Amino acid sequence: MEVTTSPVRDPLITGRKTLHDITHDISYQVERKPTVSWLLALATSLGVLAIGLYAVWRTVWDGIGMWGNNKTVGWAWDITNFVWWVGIGHAGTLISAILLLFRQRWRNSINRAAEAMTIFAVICAAMFPILHTGRPWLALYWMFPLPNVFGSLWIDFNSPLVWDVFAISTYFTVSLVFWYIGLIPDFATIRDRAKGIVSRTIYGALSFGWTGGAKTWERYESISLILAGLATPLVLSVHTIVSFDFATSVIPGWHTTIFPPYFVAGAIFSGFAMVLTLMLITRRVYRLEDYITIQHIELMNIVIIVTGSIVGVAYLTELFMAWYSGVEYEQYAFLNRATGPYWWAYATMMTCNVVSPQLFWFKKIRTSIVATFVLSIVVNIGMWFERFVIIVTSLHRDYLPSSWVMFYPTLYDVGVYMFTFGLFFTLFFLFAKFFPVINMAEVKTILKSTSDNPAKHHKTEVGEKDVATQKI
């Protein structure tokens, strides 16, 4: 089926790109020598990682006591960071799966990086369930329903933490497979272009012997659809289950049925913000302005308005329900959030998550790269505070006032958070250098139909792609 450019839609790819241009633009970043700026960036993230590793080492060696957690606030930065990272991951899955099913083809330019971000964010998130335990060396495998020699000892399927383990591991597996399958045709492209024996061997291995035959493409398409179908419920389920950690408890401020949708919306919200942050940098550094256009940015900003508004409604609903429930503890929990000693965290959360995305109603702002960049960071700060507010301000003053405490983070709390940042950016920079940051194969499929003036057709050296194009 040949699709032609709709007269009412703006082109998705600008700059009168040819198929060859696409291959060249993307593969060039992989093939050329590392730039100084890339080396500097990688060195910085490795430095952050090293500092973070020290904090991790002290935590594992000396105990959780290195952190600021205490008898009343058992979880603080650890689980805040966990939920934050998991949330960030969501955008990638949403972009790659749900938008694929909805045939939102603008996603083709951004799904690769977004999915990579998902995987790295989930890796970072997964650090915390392990690191936050008192005995991580046991937690590593006791959380799984493994056959063991302890008699009838089994895990507790009632515990939301066990659900978490399943949710996160499933999510990670599906995301990784989906991402990797998408990478295979592009790896093959790089392999075919590769001049050195090393890169030819490595990319050859990575591309799993991709031939680009019609049958292969057909299978590629089918598996993409199947994985998209599998991943779609995960977008909803993962953060729903993460929210169960709180929703199934008895703690006022946690024990809330609104949490699943509220967490999912929040996750997509923060995920899109993170995608934007990274994308705007990559776009600029790799000169990908023609692939990731203002239109992409605008569309993503619209998703941010929508999810940000959902989150805002959820906040207000919580307040209403607290009042309406007539439960003293519930009411106090929310009064304390807004006016208690952590009011500033609540105010930060409200400002960053509810007020700031509303600025995107202005076309000027949502099409401004600088404003988008700033706001995307603001949103992620806000979302971190949302989790902090939920976790710390609910715990620090719960039922018995005798146990009310304050939580003060230590340098090691910061250090472990830095560790995940270091890890995330190290992985991301390695990805950006050695993997094609844009899905060439899929972008080519939309070139003819949606780029501006795709008049110039000529036979490209990767002629197989044309076959694929025809198929859509």
Partner 1 sequence: MKKNKRYWKGLEELRNDPELVKRADKEFPDYLPISESKRNGEEGSSRRDFLKMMGFGISAATLAACEAPVKKAIPYVVKPVDVDVTIPNYYASTYLDGGDYCSIVVKTREGRPIKVNGNDLSRVTSGGTSAQVQASVLSLYDKQRLQGPVANGQPVSWSELDQNVSAQWRSAGGQRVIVSYTVLSPSTQAAINALVEAFPGTQHIMYDPQPADGMLAANKAMFGKAVLPTYDFSQANVIVSFGADFLGTWVAPISYAKQYATTRKLNKNKKSMSRHYQFESNLSLTGANADYRTPIKPSQEGLVIGQLYNLIAAKAGGSAANFTKTDEIPNLQKAANDLLNARGASLVVSGSNDPAVQMVVNQINQLLGNYGTTLTMDQASYYRRGSTAALERLVQDAQAGRVGGVIFYNCNPAYDYFGAASLVEALSKVKVKIATSDRIDETSALADFIAPDHHYLESWNDAEPQQGQFSLAQPTITPIFDTRQAQSSLLTWAGSSETNYYNFLRSRWRENLFGTQSEDTDFDRFWDRALYNGVLEAEGTSLLTAGADDSSFANVGTSVAALASTINNNYKGGEGVELVLYQKVAIGSGRQANNPWLQEMPDPITKTTWDNYLTIPQSMASEMEITTKEGFTGLVQLTVNGQSYRMPVVVQPGQAPGTVGIAVGYGRNRAGKVADQLGVNAYPMASKVNGSFVYFNAGEVTVENLDEEYRLAQTQTHETFMGRETVIQDAVLAEYQEDPKAGRFEYELETSEGPKPPEDISLWHGHKYPNHHWMMAIDLNSCIGCAACTISCQVENNVPVVGKQEVINRREMHWLRIDRYYSSDEVSDAKEMEKASANPEVVFQPMLCQHCNNAPCETVCPVLATTHSTEGLNQMTYNRCIGTRYCANNCPYKVRRFNWFKYHDNEQFAAVNVAMNTDLGKMVLNPDVTVRSRGVMEKCTFCVQRIQLGKLEARKQGRRPQDGEIDTACAEACPTDAILFGDANDPTSKISQLINEETEGRAYHVLQEIRVSPNIYYLTKIRNKDQEETNA
Q: Which residues bind partner 1 (CB under 8 A)?
A: 62-65, 68-72, 74-75, 132-136, 138-139, 142-143, 153-156, 158-162, 165, 245, 248-251, 328-329, 332, 335-336, 339, 395, 397-406
d(CA 472, CA 467): 9
Q: How far is the CB of 441 from partner 1 (least distance, A)?
A: 42
User: Which residues are CB-contacts of 57 (< 8 A; sequence separation ≥ 6)?
Assistant: none
Q: Closer CB to partner 1, residue 7 or residue 326?
A: 326
Beta bridge partners of 451: 13
Q: Closer CB to partner 1, residue 180 or residue 399?
A: 399
d(CA 183, CA 225): 15
Q: Closer CB to partner 1, residue 44 or residue 331?
A: 331
Q: How far is the CB of 153 from partner 1 (least distance, A)?
A: 7
Listed in sequence order, the DSSP H helices in 207-258 are: 214-247
Q: Closer CB to partner 1, residue 241 or residue 279?
A: 241
Q: How far is the CB of 327 from partner 1 (least distance, A)?
A: 8
Q: Closer CB to partner 1, residue 165 or residue 234?
A: 165
d(CA 101, CA 107): 11
Q: Closer CB to partner 1, residue 355 or residue 405?
A: 405
Q: Closer CB to partner 1, residue 162 or residue 306?
A: 162
Q: How far is the CB of 342 from partner 1 (least distance, A)?
A: 12
Q: How far is the CB of 163 from partner 1 (least distance, A)?
A: 9
d(CA 194, CA 28): 11
d(CA 374, CA 85): 19
Question: Count of CB atoms within 10 A of residue 339's CB?
Answer: 10
d(CA 176, CA 174): 5
Residue 200, CA distances (Å) to 41, 182, 382, 432, 463 in order: 26, 19, 44, 18, 20
Q: Closer CB to partner 1, residue 132 or residue 387?
A: 132
Q: How far is the CB of 398 from partner 1 (least distance, A)?
A: 7
DSSP 112: H
Torsion sign (Cα): 54, 60, 66, 69: positive
Contact 27, 397 (CB under 8 A): no
d(CA 99, CA 161): 30
Provide DSSP, 344-374. HHHHHHHIIIIIGGGGGGSHHHHT-HHHHHH
Using alpha carbons, select from 146, 328, 168 the residue that is nearest to residue 253: 328
Q: Closer CB to partner 1, residue 110 or residue 143?
A: 143
- C-beta contacts of 441-445 below 8 A and 24+ residues apart: 441/185, 441/186, 441/189, 441/465, 441/468, 442/108, 442/111, 442/182, 443/13, 443/22, 443/26, 443/108, 443/109, 443/291, 444/19, 444/22, 444/468, 444/469, 445/105, 445/108, 445/469, 445/472
Q: Closer CB to partner 1, residue 44 or residue 133?
A: 133
Q: Closer CB to partner 1, residue 44 or residue 70?
A: 70
Q: How far is the CB of 320 from partner 1 (least distance, A)?
A: 18
Contact 411, 41 (CB under 8 A): no
Output phi, psi for 409, to 5 deg: -70, 155
Q: How far is the CB of 74 from partner 1 (least distance, A)?
A: 3
Q: How far is the CB of 169 from partner 1 (least distance, A)?
A: 13
Q: How far is the CB of 52 from partner 1 (least distance, A)?
A: 21
Q: How far is the CB of 299 from partner 1 (least distance, A)?
A: 39
Q: Closer CB to partner 1, residue 333 or residue 375?
A: 333
Q: How far is the CB of 346 from partner 1 (least distance, A)?
A: 15
